[in-house]
Structure 1
Amino acid sequence: MLQLGDKLPVFELEDQRAEIFSSVNIENKAVVIYFYPKDFTPGCTAEACEFRDKYEDFKDAGAVVIGISSDDTASHAKFSKKYKLPFIMLSDSNGKVRKQFGVKSSLMGLLPGRETFVFDKSGSLIMRYNSIKSKNHISKALKALTKA
């Protein structure tokens, strides 16, 4: 389980274009990684759209935004296109990266957890927020970035 101060784990996953994304390629950048349960569900759609609506604020803070769920790349492609999501969406179909970050399931293990991680430019974890409710993830991430 990642603790404050831990470094961004090294991982590779396919993005919404079915291209390999490597966390090594975002070294020396602030990063917001949010794990969510499922594309097209009400809470996950609201969260993704709020990240989209605040995306310029994240860019102004020098941060890369990444959404990760177990949905496949085709689902991410449709989700990104339908809601005009400007950030990276990664498919963690086997849950390996979710486990690497220590994201636990919620609702008695029925749903994959919803958790947001913020790393500063040196790759150190500066915020970890866990709540099944999508509200507050975005504002807490932006606040952590502005403090960094």
Structure 2
Amino acid sequence: MRIAPALLAVTALSLATPALAALKVGATAPDIVTKAAKGGKMYDFSLKSALKKGPVVLYFFPAAFTSGCTAEAHEFAEAAAEFEKNGATLIGLTAGNVERIAEFSKVECRDKFPVGAATPAVISGYDVALAAKAGWTDRTSYVIAPNGKIIFTLSQMNPVGHVQGTLDAVKKYKLAKK
């Protein structure tokens, strides 16, 4: 049996660049209880408590104070009021440079939303391990409905599209609930 060269090339490319894994739309979001910071002040974050207020935008990023993560934090900070206006809680989680999340929340998140530590259990539960760097998270954004079901997932290392995608999902959810 002869395999077409184009098919071989596509297969080789897909093996060379593993796709980011993520929980699918409709899956139940695992509970999260972790240390988080907003405006430099540490507190305990509970996903279960946050979901009582409305949908939660949960975004994972590789590490505090890296270029892509800083750009993404700035964009989420600029949109924070829009998320709030639409009834959503916004939080970022990382496993990279967690000793600096309080500083990152103040400087790069501009006191607009919290960032927290992604524990190994959270990384595993949300399937967001970064293959290139052990113990870090990849870049994956979720919108979780108050019933705990995931209604939006975007998993790509490029930060472009995460803010707009999650905001659109929150607005669509709000509209459907009217």
Q: TM-score, normalised by structure 2?
A: 0.74
State the match for 1:121 in structure 2: 146
Q: Is the 8 A contact 2:139 2:156 kept in 1?
A: yes
Say if 2:108 is the partner of 1:87.
Answer: no
Q: Is the 8 A contact 1:18 1:73 kept in 2?
A: no
% identical equivalent positions: 28
Name the aligned partner's letter for residue 19 of structure 1.
Answer: Y
C-alpha displacement at 1:132, in angstroms? Answer: 0.3
Residues 34-113 of structure 1: matches in 2 within 5 Å?
A: 34-71=59-96, 74-83=99-108, 84-92=110-118, 94-106=119-131, 109-110=132-133, 112-113=137-138
Name the aligned partner's letter for residue 43 of structure 2.
Answer: E
Say if 2:64 is the partner of 1:26.
Answer: no
Structure having the higher helix fraction is 2
C-alpha displacement at 1:18, in angstroms? Answer: 3.5
State the match for 1:7 in structure 2: 28
The 1:140/1:120 distance shift into structure 2, 3 A limit, reads: same
Name the aligned partner's letter for residue 14 of structure 1.
Answer: K
Q: What's the CA shift string for 1:5-55, capped at 9, x where partnerless?
A: 122321211112332222121123101000000111110000001000011
Which structure would you say has the larger RCO, counting Cα contacts within 8 Å and 6 or more residues apart? 1
Rg larger for: 2
Residues of 1 paired with 2:165 and 2:94: CA distance?
20
Give the number of aligned pairs. Answer: 145
Residues of 2 paired with 1:67 and 1:131: CA distance?
15
Q: TM-score, normalised by structure 1?
A: 0.88
Residues of 2 paired with 1:113 and 1:137: CA distance?
13
Structure 2: 5+ residue runs without aligned partners?
A: 1-21, 174-178
Name the aligned partner's letter for residue 115 of structure 1.
Answer: T
The alignment yields a C-alpha RMSD, in angstroms, of 1.8
Name the aligned partner's letter for residue 75 of structure 1.
Answer: R
